[in-house]
Amino acid sequence: MRRRLPPLEQIEAFIEAAQAPSFRVAAERCALSPAAFSRRIQSFSSYVGLRLFERRPGGLRLTPAGERCLAELKPALLELRRAAASVARRNDEALSVTLSLSHSLAVGWLIPRMDAFRAAHPEIELSLKTQRGASDLRCGEADLGVCFSDIDLTGLVSRPLLSVTVAPVASPEVARSFKARGGRLERHRLLSVSQPPDMWPWWARETGLAAELPSASTCDLLHAMYEMASEGFGVALAAAPTVWPHLENGRLVRLDLPHAAFPGGYHLVAPADRRDRAPVEKVWRWLEFEAERTPDISRARIAA
């Protein structure tokens, strides 16, 4: 009797878990609760009959069996998605465009500009897929994307779009405390993100700060770090352009400390066959226009 394949959502959950910095982030990407996500991983592990993850310092990691499983399944899933997208692809005159970009860039930069996009191009239906890599572009599920420079863009059409600068920010209350306590970071709780790691030591080296900084509390998501800082839990090392909504509404203010340019930046990316579509061209040009209007964090008001 032929053995039935596991449900596709279990395979997708396993691949997300293998690539995400934590199961919590992978569950968010799959729009599942942590409990539901864990059940999918357990069901898939039972189907395979092997231990796919093991606990190590820093969290769960793939076992050798899990690594082999990922190497076999990921290309197959991408090919299946590509085939499905090819079957369902609309003709070249379709006025729908799917844009792939990270969660932090979607929330902190693009979504606040969506009203402007609808005003400029009411004829285009723009859908978003929040994913950090380029797999949605390669498998045909996205028409264009905005990817950070550490993403492999081989075979895709790309151009630089947004540079990234970082600077310490805090809630107005914490900013006042920072100034009253002599402007010393080592006297405050520091907040950072898990990826990329060691951002505070990097910033200190880049800006020539001689003080020895305490270890930072980390968040998986950039937006979660901004929310923690806005609620007064510490000083965050913010990245422009994604921090601007919090600066503009006053929930965060920039401290009287130097900023630094982060290596690399965001690139505008598209598969060559999608780049030529008229609706994609319009979205591409609009994104370029908005990027040119995005201010550098050096222009943010420093807390009095």
268 domain-assigned: yes
- My answer on whether 189 and 60 are in the same domain is no
Q: What is the mean pLDDT of residues 160-164?
A: 94
The answer to whether residues 185 and 290 touch, using CB atoms and an 8 Å cutoff, is no
What is the rounded CA–CA span in Å between residue 244 and residue 112? Answer: 10
The answer to whether residues 97 and 128 touch, using CB atoms and an 8 Å cutoff, is no
- My answer on whether 201 and 184 are in the same domain is yes
Strongest mean pLDDT among 43-47, 156-160, 214-218, 275-279: 156-160
- My answer on whether 169 and 257 are in the same domain is yes
- My answer on whether 18 and 60 are in the same domain is yes
Question: pLDDT per residue over 29-59, tens digit each?
Answer: 888 888 889 899 999 988 888 898 988 887 7
pTM score: 0.68
Range of the domain at 27: 8-87
Q: What is the mean pLDDT of residues 289-301?
A: 85
User: Largest alpha-carbon pair distance within the chain?
Assistant: 75
Give the pLDDT of residue 93: 45
297 domain-assigned: no
Averaged pLDDT of the chain: 88
What is the rounded CA–CA span in Å between residue 40 and residue 7? Answer: 9
**In this model, does residue 112 exceed pLDDT 80?**
yes
What is the rounded CA–CA span in Å between residue 252 and residue 246? Answer: 5
**In this model, does residue 92 exceed pLDDT 80?**
no
Question: pLDDT per residue over 2-36, tens digit each?
Answer: 567 788 889 898 999 888 888 888 888 888 888 88
Residues linked to residue 54 through DSSP beta bridges, in sequence order: 61
pLDDT: is 132 or 170 the higher one? Answer: 170
- My answer on whether 182 and 123 are in the same domain is no
- Domain tally for the chain? 3
62 domain-assigned: yes
Give the pLDDT of residue 232: 95
pLDDT confidence of 89, banded at 50, 70, 90? Answer: low
270 domain-assigned: yes
205 domain-assigned: yes
> The domain that contains 129 carries what CATH number?
3.40.190.10
- My answer on whether 275 and 258 are in the same domain is no
Q: What is the mean pLDDT of residues 82-103?
A: 72
- My answer on whether 156 and 268 are in the same domain is yes
3 domain-assigned: no
Of the candidates 87, 114, 145, which is a domain's last residue? Answer: 87
- My answer on whether 188 and 230 are in the same domain is yes
**In this model, does residue 213 exceed pLDDT 50?**
yes
Helical residues (DSSP H) of 128-171, grouped into ranges = 135-138
How far is Cα of residue 32 from the mean position of the Cα atoms in its chain?
Answer: 18
- My answer on whether 134 and 273 are in the same domain is yes
121 domain-assigned: yes
- My answer on whether 54 and 68 are in the same domain is yes
Of the candidates 87, 107, 140, which is a domain's last residue? Answer: 87
> The domain that contains 17 carries what CATH number?
1.10.10.10
- My answer on whether 269 and 158 are in the same domain is yes
- My answer on whether 127 and 272 are in the same domain is yes
